[in-house]
Chains A and B, each alone.
Chain A
Amino acid sequence: MKRFLVFVLIVFSIFVSAERLVIKGSNTVFPIAQLWIEEFKKFHPDLQVTLEGAGSSTGIAALFNGTTDIANASRWLKAEEIERMHREGRYFIPFLVGFDGIAVIVNKNLEIEDISIETLKKIYTGEIRYWSQVNPNLPKKRIVVYSRNTASGTYETFENKVLGGARMAPDIRMVESTQLEIENVAKNPYAIAYVGVGYVTEGVKVLKINGVYPTKENVLKGKYPLARPLFMFVDATKGFPEMGSLVFEYIMFAFSKKGQELVEKAGYIAAYGQ
């Protein structure tokens, strides 16, 4: 018993004395944050970091509850969230850390290179159901359409930019993870899906949208139609994170040359200095 108490005491004291940083939010930003933390820990060897990637909304909700220091988000604040912020007299500040292009992917064996936003809209609203309707040269096969589930930030971006208020057909497969989408598209010759460019693998083919590839340059110049900014939100109700505080250092590190290089390493597009 005595030993146990001593053990608990030691664990507890480590827990208290160590510097702690809690980050929650978007699973799009998650891989970037992971790389940042690995690197950031080199300056702060005894830093304890909690990193969760349950979704942008979860992160922002945690910021409201005060259970996180930083909320990662793959979208801007929703109207309800801004309203709640005003109601509670809170003040969240955004930090733009990078960009994500949404790549439309198909199976490698499908003979198509380019797709227009209009066609994409027709596919996702169920107006077009067969590949032959997209292009007469393609086989007359049912298009197997995949989408991220309705709560995902990627879905929201896609909905805004492609569907423009129209509704997705109910028989579209909503899947939980980007990995699942990619796997399915790699396997199924007649599938189509959309994923963050960072996730694209060798196994699938990225389509040009209105003739533009989701390259870094095209996204930064605003030519690629399906791109979105990635943010970190910090609660600044009690003031901007103090200089020298962990949150401040972490954000500055994210903005640094190394930090922005890691954004690229994670497969996204750096916002600054590249």
Chain B
Amino acid sequence: MILVFSGSGIFALFLLMFFLMKEAWPALVEIGGELFTSVYWYPTSEPPEYGMLAMIVGTLLLTSFSSLILLPIGYLIAFFLHTYASNAEKNLIRTTVEFLAGTPSVVMGLFVLSYISPILLRFDIWSTENFLMASIGLILTALPYTVSLSLEALDSVDVSLEESALALGADKFTTTLKITTRAALSGILNAFVLTVNRVVGETMIVLMVGGGAAIIPRSLFDPVKPLTAAIASEIGEVAVDSMHYHVLFAAGVILLAISLTLTGVSRYISGRQTR
């Protein structure tokens, strides 16, 4: 019975990958390199051009920028919760942060769109949906993942290890930073990778506040259109079996590849850490 259930999970994944590849195949074969090297995204004009470079770069830039802010903050919150917070504080902060995780991303997008982005107009910034806004939205939605998962990793470290460090005269800060974190490193890295995966795949927020222009952003206030936004925004009205349709599936394959690479890296790291 268990085998059937677990088997069906694997089956579903393979089915998903198979169909994704099958639908993306015509695009990969017929358009090939242009997909990855051209920045001209004109899928509906005549003749069409399917350059996804701007969107790939947009995805990577947005992900790395958000992660660079998000991961340290998340770790620091987990650090505080683990080391200094009393039980009541821990409960309060954790619940609040986890509540953020439960907020549907469309609500988060709406919030950023209607409350944060209008502030930009006061500073005479002409574009109210841009890289920065998308990043803020992503940070808010993904933060709870880093916090909860890192905290779990820190908490799972054997107390005797920390007590030994404390007994040897290390203060709390040093203990958590040097002893606990090191012992929990694989868990924390896993938390980071999962968060980054979440950021890569997030769709609704980047769709709503990213600005949706397929250019390579050169400043924080330029619009950005990641691959997820392109898929979500265009798949709805594209003719099935047209090249545009296949190209959008190719975008899905790229996303899946990014995500699988990240997961692979995390496996590799945690494998090395635990050994």
Instruction: Tell me the A residues contacting B by CB distance below 8 Å.
Output: 54-58, 60-61, 64, 78, 80-81, 141-142, 144, 149-153, 155-156, 159, 165, 167-168, 170-176, 180, 183-184, 187-190
Contacts and interface: CB of A to CB of B under 8 A. Distances in A.
B242 A151 contact: no
Contacts of A155: 44
B33 interface: no
A168 B127 CA distance: 18
Contacts of B42: 150, 167-168
A245 to B, nearest CB: 27
B45 interface: yes
Interface in B232-265: 232-240, 242, 244
Given A173-B213, A174-B225, A190-B126, A159 B41 contact: no
Nearest to A175: B212
Question: For chain B, which range describes its interface: under 10, 10 to 19, 20 to 34, or 35 or more residues?
Answer: 35 or more
B223 interface: yes
B132 to A, nearest CB: 15
B137 to A, nearest CB: 15
Contacts, number: 93
Contacts of A168: 42
Nearest to B124: A141
B81 interface: no
Per DSSP, chain B at the interface is: loop
Contacts of A64: 240
Contact of A170 (B41, B129, B232, B234): B41
A155 to B, nearest CB: 7
A153 B238 CA distance: 10
Contact of A180 (B121, B208, B240): B208
Between B54, B211, B233, B237, the greatest number of chain A beta carbons within 10 A of the residue's beta carbon is seen for B237
A144 B121 contact: no
Contact of A57 (B39, B113, B237): B237
B25 interface: no
A190 B120 CA distance: 13
